[in-house]
Amino acid sequence: MTKSATREAADEVSAPIASPVFTGNVGVGVTPESSYAGRPTLRIGAGLAIGGYGSGNPSHHWINANAYQAASDATEKYIGADQASQLKQTNGAFTFNVAPNGNADAAISWNTAMTIDNAGYVSTPKMATTYAMLKGPSSTTNLGWTSTGMQVTNNPDSLYNASNGRFTCPVAGLYQMTFMAINNVSINDTIQAQAFHNGAEIAGGSRMYESQNHNHGGSSATAIIQVAAGDYLQWRMNGSIYADKHSGASFMLVHAS
């Protein structure tokens, strides 16, 4: 049995196939959450949500994995108990957000992993904070081939362990480690420093040896090395190092693999 011409015409008026328009949230294979009315969302499967403003702000859109915006105040929440991520497009810029495991309907606190602004500049905040800055001991000290004794001045991700002098690499990649020292203000002495990777000295360009016949002699050494996640780097030092801000060391992620 076929539809009558009158019925077909009525169907086309109520839902024109050529240019369908849906209001509110739409689910594909799932019933979408009740989310913020001003930002309609297309929900696909278990956790994909694509949303934007219903009117105005045409440059504002979100592509979410395991995240939705609450109906009451647009607070971003987890869809299910899992990790979450988001590609946010606002004002012609891309922001890549990530979040650890959370519970369903709990509020999400995003961590910005990368931003590409409208001029094309790329910012990767986590790489910028993956480092430790050290300075010489609080008093002039003969360190005596130790990996400790330096003061931690900046260690935002707690990757440097002052008790053993180890910097643990959070991700695989290319790392730079630098050491600079000035010898004791009152003792003519030799300053030595060696760069170590997982307890073995790094070959080539990683050793500093400075012998002075006068005070305040100084030198520096730099090592650049490819490492795996979880490896550790150290400086082992010897000599009477001039205290405080006059000497220092650093460990820094240059590029993740």
- Choosing from 123, 140, 156, the residue where a domain stops is 123
- CA-CA-CA-CA dihedral for 46, 52, 54, 60, to nearest 10: 170
d(CA 180, CA 135): 9
Q: Which has the closest alpha carbon to 35: 61, 65, 67?
A: 67
- pLDDT tens profile 39-90: 889 999 999 999 988 888 899 999 999 999 998 888 999 999 999 999 999 9
Helix (H) or strand (E) holding 28: strand 26-28
Point out the domain boundary residue: 68, 96, 123.
Answer: 123
Neighbour count for residue 35 (Cβ, 10 Å): 22
Quick one: pLDDT band at residue 240, thresholds 50, 70, 90? Answer: confident
22 with 110, same domain: the answer is yes
CB atoms within 10 A of CB 240: 20
Q: Is the pLDDT of residue 110 over 50?
A: yes
Q: Are residues 45 and 27 in the same domain?
A: yes
Shared-domain flag, residues 109 and 164: no
In this prediction, residues 165-173 reach a mean pLDDT of 94
pLDDT range class, residue 9, cuts 50, 70, 90: low
Residue 84 amino acid letter: A
What mean pLDDT comes out for the span 207-233? Answer: 78
Helices (H), the chain: 5-14, 125-129
Where a domain ends, among 123, 149, 168? 123
Residues 6+ apart with CB under 8 A from 51: 35, 39, 40, 41, 42, 61, 62, 64, 69
- Please check whether residues 119 and 195 belong to one and the same domain: no
14 and 90 share one domain:
yes
* CATH number of the domain bearing residue 226: 2.60.120.40
Distance CA 98, CA 85 (A): 4
Both 137 and 211 in one domain: the answer is yes
Check whether residue 88 and residue 159 sit in a common domain: no
Question: Are 250 and 134 in the same domain?
Answer: yes
67 and 103 share one domain: yes
Q: Are residues 179 and 109 in the same domain?
A: no
List pLDDT tens digits, range 152-161. Answer: 888 988 999 9
Query: Taking CA 171 as the corner, what is the angle to CA 128 and CA 126, rounded to the nearest 5 degrees?
Result: 25
> Can you tell me whether residue 102 is helix, strand or coil?
strand
* C-beta separation of 43 from 71 below 8 A: no
- DSSP state, 120? -
d(CA 189, CA 239): 7
Cα 22–62–83 angle (5° rounding)? 115
Query: First CA to last CA across the chain, in angstroms?
Result: 64
Res 200: pLDDT: 92
For 36, residues 6+ apart whose C-beta sits below 8 A from its C-beta are 69, 70, 71, 72, 73, 74
Q: Which of 27-36, 98-107, 167-176 has the lowest mean pLDDT?
A: 27-36
Residue span of the structural domain in which 63 resides = 5-123
- Both 194 and 139 in a single domain? yes
Q: Specify the number of domains making up the chain.
A: 2
For the whole prediction, is pTM greater than 0.85?
no
- CA nearest 147: which of 74, 230, 234? 234
In this structure, the number of other CB atoms found within 10 A of the CB of residue 201 comes to 14
Q: Which amino acid is at 10?
A: A
Q: Please report which confidence band the pLDDT of residue 167 belongs to, taking 50, 70 and 90 as the band edges.
A: very high
Q: Which residue has the higher pLDDT, 134 or 206?
A: 134
Residues 133 and 233 in one domain: yes
